[in-house]
Amino acid sequence: MAALFSPFRLGGLELANRITISPMCQYSAVGGSMTDWHVAHLASLALSGAGLLVIEATGVEPRGRISPEDTGLWSDDNEAALSRVLDRVRAVSPIPIGIQLAHAGRKAATYSPWTGSGSVPDEKGGWDTIAPSAVPFREGWRVPRAMTRADMEAVRDAFVAAARRAARLGLRYAELHFAHGYLMSTFLSPLSNRRTDEYGGSLENRMRFPLEVAAAVRAVWPAEAALAVRVNGSDFTAGGWTPEEAGVFARALRDIGMDGVTVSGGGVDPRQEIQAGPGYQLAFAEHVRKVSGIPTTTVGMILTPRQAEAIVAEGKADLVALARAILFDPRWPFHAARVLGIDLAYPPQYDRADPKHWRGGDLLLAGLSD
């Protein structure tokens, strides 16, 4: 049995294999509510053969969306729209489905990738933003308002309310988005957190609010599901968040009952210097897993089956998360199974495409065998 296709228990969730599908923003919601695009997008990925499908970053309040077109889960209308999408996806696949709960902080109210860049002005649908400190992400962006304790309590409660809605919809996994320069990672990073109160300065203080949010969600999230946090392994910027700090934070998350962490990086400071390549963030996940003992998912150019297999087999991470690779090849897990000698059952409607029934399949897969 290939390690990549071995089962894994994450909290109360039993996964059939170690391949997960990362949350990927689609910028196709209306008023935070999902549309027909999300039905098609998620249903396609649900037929991939992966062990877990995670819905894109979903704003816990309107001002927490990255763009006006982001999905949200703050209202009954949002919940009803997501319920409709889930009904249709579950009708075609038994894959466990999760969601990423997020607040964009100072990177909120920005244009979707194909409509512009930078902050959306008020007259075009933008809004005021919040952050630990009144420091914009980059020159020309909105200057966020430094959060008061009342703001922090409101954001914490919004995460809890969204988690309750997600649990009510039967989602099996929730990932709290504490990475990529969004609100929680700006509390964690010394580059963006300039506070002088108990929520700024030392690592213990910078972790305080994110841990308060995580603990509050843990208190309402079902034990039979899984709860994880996406964290940065590095800011890729001098003076920023480090792998060592990520390890300390992961231990703290483990201690308050989190079931796992996904280790990513970047997005806090535009001066970041990232040398992207296959598995370029794996060392962060490996370090966090080693020092914290918490189940760990790695991301970042996981491209080929043998690369993913080596990651799991060598104990560098427990799970791999695919993003652009699985958008490019929505049957990546089935193709990986063939390369690694695993007989993964296709949906009956697609069974004729299994290379064991169709000689052309192995010819198409030749490029995946390296």
Catalytic residues: 182
C-alpha–C-alpha distance, residues 164 and 115, integer Å? 33
Q: Which residue has the tokens 């150019």?
A: 301
User: With contact defined as beta carbons under 8 Å apart, do 322 and 289 qualify?
Assistant: no
Distance CA 148, CA 215 (A): 20
What Å distances lie between residue 140 and 118, 137, 357, CA to CA? 8, 9, 57
Which of 172, 189, 28 minimizes the C-alpha distance to 107?
189
- The answer to whether 323 touches 24, Cβ cutoff 8 Å, is yes
Give the C-alpha separation, 370 to 354, whole Å. 20
CA 2 to CA 306: how far, in whole Å? Answer: 10
Q: Between β-strands 296-298 and 260-264, what pairing exists: parallel, antiparallel or unpaired?
A: parallel
Exposed, middle or buried by CB within 10 Å (0-12, 13-18, 19+), for 276? exposed
